[in-house]
Structure 1
Amino acid sequence: MLVTQVVNRVLNSNTWLLTEDNFDAWLVDCGDVDLLQSVLQPNYTVKGVFITHSHFDHIYGLNNLLKIWPRCIVYTNEFGYEALLSDKKNFSRYYEVSFIFEYPENICLLSDEKTVLLYNNVVMSNFSTPGHDPSCICYECCGNLFTGDAYIPDTKPVTNLRGGNKEEYQKSLTLIKERMNSCSFLFPGHGKSFCVNYKF
């Protein structure tokens, strides 16, 4: 699996593009679709988007993405579902343009630890990591750990926004660090990727 970073214009959030040779592409979060298309070969199809949390800077490209790939599935939890449909809960009403997701029928609700088959025997697993926001989910696939804003190395956690909780964050951080022991690379919601447990 090839993981490619796309740095979005809004708050420099990351979209992580996952591709294989079968021309299926998957995303972790979704910002600027034009930037995504500039690095995605035209014969690829975006099959799904795994949302790490539903703050505006991690979701604002979804409507444009679904206009291009209308069968694309958006994976989130019940808190994320609510925020995708509310510019108050996803904070977009405080930006220049509010965002409300226009394709609720494309949302798939994830239960904790549920796996999604990407291709062949490769699956994406998830685990809930509230603290930054109730919608926070981390994803794990092929030794890659995608943490969104639930954990950004060398960055002070943000728990003072609506929905944040310091106690929940500490529990989530413990779980994330446990999962890091079995992963090789970490891909956060902002900034660069990290090698966390690579065996040469």
Structure 2
Amino acid sequence: MYEIKSLKLGHMDNLIYLIKDKKTNEIAVIDPAWDVDAIFNAADKMEGVITQIFLTHSHYDHVNGVDEVLHRTDAQLHVHKIEDRFWGGAGRNATLHSGGDHLKLGSTELKIHHTPGHTPGSVCYELDGNLFTGDTVFVYGCGRCNLRGGDPEAMYHTLNKIGKSFAPEMTVLPGHDYATCPSSTIGQQLNGNPFFNIKTLHGFVDYRMNKHYRSMPYGPVS
């Protein structure tokens, strides 16, 4: 019923995703940034029309293509209501959401999960066996919490919730290609991602804020 296309764009190895509903040919873009022409070229090759924009969060490297996509289309922008306040996205006429909301892309349905930590209103989008995680979960890493809006305590609780809420075979589709592979599964992250395996809040905060300076690409930690 749907098709997913990923694009690696920009100097920060952003992963931008296009989801096409095959029944209506509508396309949603997750976190449009850096090279909007490449995004539209990919949509053309998918033989679809961009009608929606889904934001995982509002840091510049994930939203710097939003205004151009809105200018070139009639697409509807979707963002968590807390993130909209944090971002200050006034004037973009976004549809605001809460965790647990469902989105419709033609006949395709996604669920929004509020996953604070990297920013206050960060979200992940669930589509069947796929989880688009933005900068909440990387392959063998997680988003920084020392940038504006970051909260390592919130990230600790978010990752614990993710680890318990999704099946091990759920595919993780992150917002950056920072690892030895561009995607993974929840099970692989539970086994090899250090941020899923620190058992105390104090230990997590210390590791995230003070000790985790490993060079990329990220890889599993035994």
For this structure pair, what is the TM-score category when the shorter chain's length is used for normalisation? Answer: 0.7 to 0.9
Residue 138 of structure 1, aligned match among 124, 127, 138: 124
Deviations 1:121-172 (A, max 9, x none): x311111111111121111012110110011121254111121111110110
Structure 1 match to 2:7: 6
Matches within 5 A, 1:1-200: 1-21=2-22, 22-31=24-33, 32-41=35-44, 43-70=47-74, 72-85=75-88, 103-105=91-93, 107-120=94-107, 122-181=108-167, 184-191=170-177, 192-196=182-186
The answer as to whether partners of 1:63 and 1:103 remain within 8 angstroms in 2 is no
Q: Distance in 2 between matches of 1:41 and 1:180?
A: 33
Query: Per-residue displacement from partner, 1:79-107 (whole Å, max 9, x unpaired)?
Result: 3223443xxxxxxxxxxxxxxx68522x0
Tell me the TM-score normalized by structure 1. Answer: 0.81
Q: Percent identity?
A: 25
Secondary structure of the 1:18 match is strand
Q: CA deviation at 1:20?
A: 3.0
Task: Give the 3 Å change call, closer, same or farther, for CA 50–156 of structure 1 in structure 2.
Answer: closer
The CA distance in 2 between the partners of 1:2 and 1:165, in whole Å, is 34
Q: CA deviation at 1:5?
A: 0.7
Tell me the secondary structure at the aligned position of residue 11 of structure 1.
coil
Structure ranking higher in helix proportion: 2
Larger CA Rg, structure 1 vs 2: 2
- Give the structure-2-normalised TM-score: 0.74
Paired residues, number: 180
Q: Contact between 1:145 and 1:183, CA under 8 Å: does it hold in 2?
A: no
Gaps of 5+ in 2: 188-222
Tell me how far apart the structure 2 counterparts of residues 28 and 179 of structure 1 sit (CA, whole Å). Answer: 22
Measured on the aligned residues, the alpha-carbon RMSD in Å equals 2.1
Q: Distance in 2 between matches of 1:39 and 1:103?
A: 27
Query: How far apart are the structure 1 equivalents of 2:68 and 2:102?
Result: 26
CA contact (8 A) 2:83 2:119 kept: no
